[in-house]
Structure 1
Amino acid sequence: MKNIIYIIVFAFFISLSSCSIDNVEPKNVLLESNAITNETTALGILNRIYNSGLRNSIYGRDIGGGAGVAIVENISLSSLEIELLTPSTSFTAFNTNNVLNNEGLLQQVYVDLYFNINLSNYFIELVERGDANVNDSRKNELLAEAKFFRGLSHFSLLRIFGQFYDVNSPLGVVVSTQPIRSNTSFPRNSVQETYDAIIADLQFSADNAPTGRAHYYVSATTAQALLAKVQLNMGDYTNAALNAQAVISNTDGYLLEPTYSGVFNDRWGAETLLAAYVDIDIEGAQAHNFGRNTFGPSTLFRTLADEQDGLNSDGSTDNATGYDPRYSLGFYLDPANPTILIGKYPFDGTFAGGEGNAIKTLRMAEIYLIYAEAEARRDGGSLANALARVNEIRNRAGASVTPRVLSDKATLLEDIRIEKMLELYCETGENWYDLVRYDRLGDIDASALKPSISSVNKLIFPIPNAAIIGNTELVPNP
C-alpha cells in the first residue's frame, strides 16, 4: 500500500520512571480538537496505526529504524524449531528460556503494544464522535480497522505476558479501551476479561470491516481469521472451528497458494490474509527476515523434517534432499547462492536496495490448521474432517510428504502441532504458543522436549521491571 508510510501524527513521550508504560499519551503536536477533521485526516492516523501495529508492535522493530531485533525471532528461539548459531546476550536468554525482567526487547515490545492500543483508542474516540465527517457505514469501516489492531495488540500482550491458556487465571494484562490522559496506575485484568475485550473488538471488525481489499489491509475476512485464532487459544473450540471454516470458504479472494514457495515469492498473494506493506526503496523501512548466519534448524526440527518422506536419516547434509520440502526451502545450503537469509525471505532485505520481505501476520495455511485442531478438540468434532485439512496442507507441501493417517485423537493433535511447526517455522513464533498450550492442556511435556523450560513459570515472559516500577498496581508474573 503506497500510502501506508511513516505518517507521524502524534509525538509520544514516555517516562518509564514517573508513570506506567501502559499509559502512553499523545502530546504536543496536534490537539484532539483538530487531529481528525475529515476522512483524509482520519486515514492519516489510521495509516500510523497500521505501521505501529504491524511493524513495531508485533515484531519489535522501531519504525523506520535500521537496527533492533524482532520479537518473533526470540520467541522462535524459545521454542523448538531453531537454535542460535551466533552468540548474543538477548538471543541466548530466549534460546535457553532464561529471560529476565530487565530484558530490553520485552520492554520495547510492551511499550510498542500499548502505544498502538492508545493510538487506536484516540482514533476510535474521535471517529465515534463524528470527527471524520463520514456516513455511518464508512465510520464503522474505519472503526473496524482500528478495533482490529486494538484487539491484535491486546492479544499479543496476553500471549507474551499473560497466562493466555487459562481463562480462569487472574494474570491477564491491563486492558485499555479508553484514551489515557493521566498518569494513572491500573491493575491487570483477568485472562477472561482480557479475552472478552479482544473478542468484542474482533467481532466488530469481522462484522464491519471492508471486503475486496489488497492483502496489506484489514478486511472482514482477516478479522474473522484472527477471531478464530483467539478462540482457539482461549479454548472456545466450537466457535474457533466455525470461524476458521468460514474463512476457508471465503469468497473474498483468499486461498491456499498452489506451491509452498509461492507463499513467499508473492508478498501479498492469495494466501496472505494480512502482511505489512514493505518497500525499502520507497520507505526506507526495515524489512523482516531471519538471518541464516544467526539461526539454524534445531536437531529436533531437522529430525522431524527428515521423517516426513517416511524414511528416517536420509536427509542430505546440505538440507536439500530427504527432507520435507518446506524445510529445504528455508535451510538449503546452496553453495552457488550463499544467501544470508533463510529461504522464506527471498527479497533483498538490506538498505542497499530491494523491496523487502512482507511480514505475514496471518495466512490461510494457519487457518486450515486452526480449524483442524479446533475440530479435533471440540465436543462432537469430526477427527476425519480435521485430518482432511491437515492433509490438504501436507499435499501442498510436495509429493514426497506422506499423508497422515487417522489413529486416535491424541495422535492427531500431535500431528497438527508438528504440522504447524513444519508450515510456520521462522515466521511469527506461533510454535512457541502451541508448545505452551499443548503443555498446559496435558498433551505434551514441554520440559521433556526442551529441558531448559524447567518451570511452568517459564511458559510466559516476565513483565518488564520498568512497567512494574511505573504502575504500582501491576502484579508481576511468578
Structure 2
Amino acid sequence: MKIYSIKRLLPAVAFLSLFSCDVFDATSEVAINPDQAFISEAASRSAVAGIYDAMQSESYYGAYFQYTSDNYVDVGDFQGFFQGFQAPDQGAIPTRNDNILQLWAQAYRTINAANEVIDKLPAVEVTGFEEEEKTELLAQARGLRGLAYLDLLTHYAEHFDLSSDFGLAIVSESNNGNLTQLQNPERSSVSESYDFVIADLQFAVDNLPDSGDNSELTKAGAQGLLARALLHKGDYTEAISLATAVIDNPSFMLVDDVASIYTVDGSPESIFELPYTTLDPSSLATYTISRDEVRPEPSLIESFTEGDERRALIAFIDGFNGERFVKAEDFANQANPAYIIRMAEIYLIRAEAAFLDDDAGNDDQALADLNAVRERAGLPPHDNAEDFVDKLLDEYLWEFFAEGQRFRSLVRLGKLNEVVGLADFRRVYPLPQQELDVMGNNLVQNPGY
C-alpha cells in the first residue's frame, strides 16, 4: 500500500471520533466541537482524510459492503458463525440484521463527516491556503458523500423506479458534531435522491485534478462513479460519454494480467481504491480466508468457462479447508485494498449503456466493450449480441465476485428473481429497525418488510 496513506489516515482518527454516534439517535451527544478541526490547512486536510477513514471501516468498505450483498446472491456461501452474514445467505434479511444496521450507520457517519467539511471548509482563512486547494478538498468531500449516498440508494432505496417515493433520507447540513442538532429526516423520492447524488459527483468531476493516484478520489474516479450513478438512473447517453472519458484517460487501463490487479500496488486497472496497511488493516481477508462467513458459492465455482483466468482467484490455501476467495490474499497483515471502481467496470458500464440506449447506443459497441473484459480474462469473444443481458451479467459475476457488484447489477437489469429467486421486495435491503424505533423518527420502512 502507498506509504503516504499512513500519513493521511492517522490524523483522521481524532476527526472521526467526533462522529461515532448512532445516526439518527437524538439522545447522543458529542463533547468536542468540530470547529477545532478547521483551524489550519493541515487540520482541514485531516478532516477530509477523516471521510476516507470512515469509508475504510469494517462496517463499510472494510468488509460489510461487499460481503453482505455477495452472500445475498450467488457469490458468497455462509459457513461461519456471525449471524449478520448468515441471514443474507439464507435469502431473508430481517429488519434487525446487524450487518444492515452497521453498514447503514457507517455510511451516514461518512456522510456526516463530509457534511462537516463541506460546511466548515469554505470559511477557513489561513495564509497560503489557496481557494483552488480548498475547492479541490471540497470536491473530494462532495464526491465521497455522493458515493456514500449512491451506495445507500442502490441498496436501501427503490433505485430502479424513478417514480418511487422510497428514496434516501438525505442529510446535507452540518450538525456541528452534535447529533442532538440533527432533525430526523423524511425520505426523499428516488428521483430527488438521484439528483442529489449526481450533483455531488458532478461537482467532483468539475473540480478534482486529472491524476493517476488511485488511493484518493480524482477526476477519473469521479467520472466513473458518476457514470455508475447515471447507468442506474437510466441516463445511458451521459453514462457512455463519461465512461469513454475514463477509458481514454492514459493513466488507467485494462491490464493484461488479471491477478496483478490484486497483487501489484497501484495497478492502473484500479481507478479508485481505499488502501489499508498493517497499522490500518481491513477485514477483507478475515471473512473470506481466516473465517468462514464468506466462502465461494459452489454454483459460482462451477459456472466458470474453461480457460477463464479469473477462476484462479478462488483457490485452496495451506492451513484452511476448502477453496477461498483470494482477491484479498494478505490474511496475515490484512493490508488488502478495497476496490471502489475499476477499469473493467467502466467497460461494462459502457457496454450496458450502449446496448440499452435507444438513441446513442449500438450493439457493436456494446459487444466490443464486453469482449474487451472477456478476452482480457483469456476467453474467446462473443460473436453476437443475442441474450446480451445474460452475457453481461455473467461477466459481472466472474469479474467482480467478492467486490460487491453482483446484487445491484441483478436488480438494475431486472434479473434478481430469475437468477437467485429472491422476491421483488428484496430488491432493496430493509431500513434498520433500530432507526425506525428512534423517538421522533420520520422514516418509512421499505414495502414488504
Distance in 1, matches of 2:273 and 2:235, equals 26
Query: Could you tell me whether the CA contact under 8 Å between 1:291 and 1:340 is conserved in 2?
Result: no
Q: Are 2:352 and 1:382 equivalent residues in the alignment? A: no
TM norm structure 2: 0.89
Q: Residue type of the partner of 1:160? A: H
In the other structure, the counterpart of 1:9 is 15
Q: Are 2:400 and 1:424 equivalent residues in the alignment? A: yes
Distance 1:216 1:31, change over 3 A: closer
Deviation digits for residues 120-150 of structure 1, max 9, x if unmatched?
Answer: 1111111122446622211210100000111
Q: How does 1:204-223 map to 2 (within 5 A)?
A: 204-223=203-222
Instruction: Report how far residue 258 of structure 1 moved.
Output: 1.5
Instruction: Report how far residue 334 of structure 1 moved.
Output: 6.1
Distance in 1, matches of 2:374 and 2:246, equals 19
Q: Are 2:31 and 1:28 equivalent residues in the alignment? A: yes
In the other structure, the counterpart of 1:331 is 314
Q: How does 1:71-110 map to 2 (within 5 A)?
A: 71-86=65-80, 88-110=82-104
Deviation digits for residues 197-221 of structure 1, max 9, x if unmatched?
Answer: 1100100101101232421111011
Distance 1:363 1:258, change over 3 A: same
Kindly, what percent of the aligned residue pairs are identical? 24
In the other structure, the counterpart of 1:365 is 344
Q: Are 2:224 and 1:225 equivalent residues in the alignment? A: yes
Instruction: Report how far residue 29 of structure 1 moved.
Output: 2.3
Select the residue among 388, 391, 395 that pairs with 1:415: 391
Query: Could you tell me whether the CA contact under 8 Å between 1:12 and 1:26 is conserved in 2?
Result: no
Q: Residue type of the partner of 2:6? A: K
Q: Are 2:284 and 1:288 equivalent residues in the alignment? A: yes
Q: Residue type of the partner of 1:46? A: V
Q: Residue type of the partner of 1:438? A: L
Distance in 1, matches of 2:29 and 2:327, equals 37
Q: Residue type of the partner of 2:17? A: A
Structure 2 SS opposite 1:2: helix
In the other structure, the counterpart of 2:119 is 125
Query: Could you tell me whether the CA contact under 8 Å between 1:36 and 1:131 is conserved in 2?
Result: no
In the other structure, the counterpart of 1:43 is 45
In the other structure, the counterpart of 2:446 is 477
Deviation digits for residues 31-88 of structure 1, max 9, x if unmatched?
Answer: 52x42122111111111111112435632x5xxxxxxx62321210111123223354
Distance 1:183 1:460, change over 3 A: same
Q: Which runs of 5+ in 1 are unaligned?
A: 62-68, 309-321
Distance 1:169 1:57, change over 3 A: farther
Distance 1:284 1:147, change over 3 A: closer
Deviation digits for residues 313-369 of structure 1, max 9, x if unmatched?
Answer: xxxxxxxxx452202x1223366997985221232x33xxx3611111111111110
Distance in 1, matches of 2:335 and 2:322, equals 14
Structure 2 SS opposite 1:386: helix
Q: Are 2:202 and 1:203 equivalent residues in the alignment? A: yes
Distance in 2, matches of 1:25 and 1:132, equals 33
Q: Residue type of the partner of 1:326? A: R
Distance in 1, matches of 2:337 and 2:16, equals 26
Q: Residue type of the partner of 1:268? A: G
* Bigger mean CA offset, 224-233 vs 159-168: 159-168
In the other structure, the counterpart of 1:312 is none
Distance in 1, matches of 2:96 and 2:411, equals 22
Structure 1 SS opposite 2:340: strand
Q: How does 1:162-201 map to 2 (within 5 A)?
A: 162-180=157-175, 182-201=181-200
Query: Could you tell me whether the CA contact under 8 Å between 1:57 and 1:109 is conserved in 2?
Result: yes
Deviation digits for residues 373-414 of structure 1, max 9, x if unmatched?
Answer: 01111113111111111111111112xx22112143xx1122
Q: Which runs of 5+ in 2 are unaligned?
A: none
In the other structure, the counterpart of 1:434 is 409
Deviation digits for residues 272-292 of structure 1, max 9, x if unmatched?
Answer: 111112111xx2423423524
In the other structure, the counterpart of 1:137 is 132
Distance in 2, matches of 1:448 and 1:245, equals 31
Structure 1 SS opposite 2:167: coil
Distance in 1, matches of 2:87 and 2:21, equals 26
Distance in 2, matches of 1:355 and 1:102, equals 29
In the other structure, the counterpart of 1:462 is 430
* Bigger mean CA offset, 125-134 vs 255-264: 125-134
Q: Residue type of the partner of 1:245? A: T
Query: Could you tell me whether the CA contact under 8 Å between 2:40 and 2:124 is conserved in 1?
Result: no
Number of aligned positions between the proteins: 431
Instruction: Report how far residue 269 of structure 1 moved.
Output: 1.2
Distance in 2, matches of 1:161 and 1:245, equals 29
In the other structure, the counterpart of 2:253 is 255
* Bigger mean CA offset, 463-472 vs 2-11: 2-11
Distance in 2, matches of 1:404 and 1:78, equals 29
Distance in 1, matches of 2:98 and 2:321, equals 32
Distance 1:57 1:205, change over 3 A: farther
Distance 1:26 1:205, change over 3 A: farther
Query: Could you tell me whether the CA contact under 8 Å between 1:36 and 1:132 is conserved in 2?
Result: no
Distance in 2, matches of 1:473 and 1:239, equals 34
Distance in 2, matches of 1:35 and 1:70, equals 29
Distance 1:267 1:58, change over 3 A: farther
Q: Residue type of the partner of 2:429? A: F
In the other structure, the counterpart of 2:325 is 342
Structure 1 SS opposite 2:54: helix
Distance 1:183 1:191, change over 3 A: same
Distance 1:12 1:415, change over 3 A: same
Q: Are 2:392 and 1:393 equivalent residues in the alignment? A: no
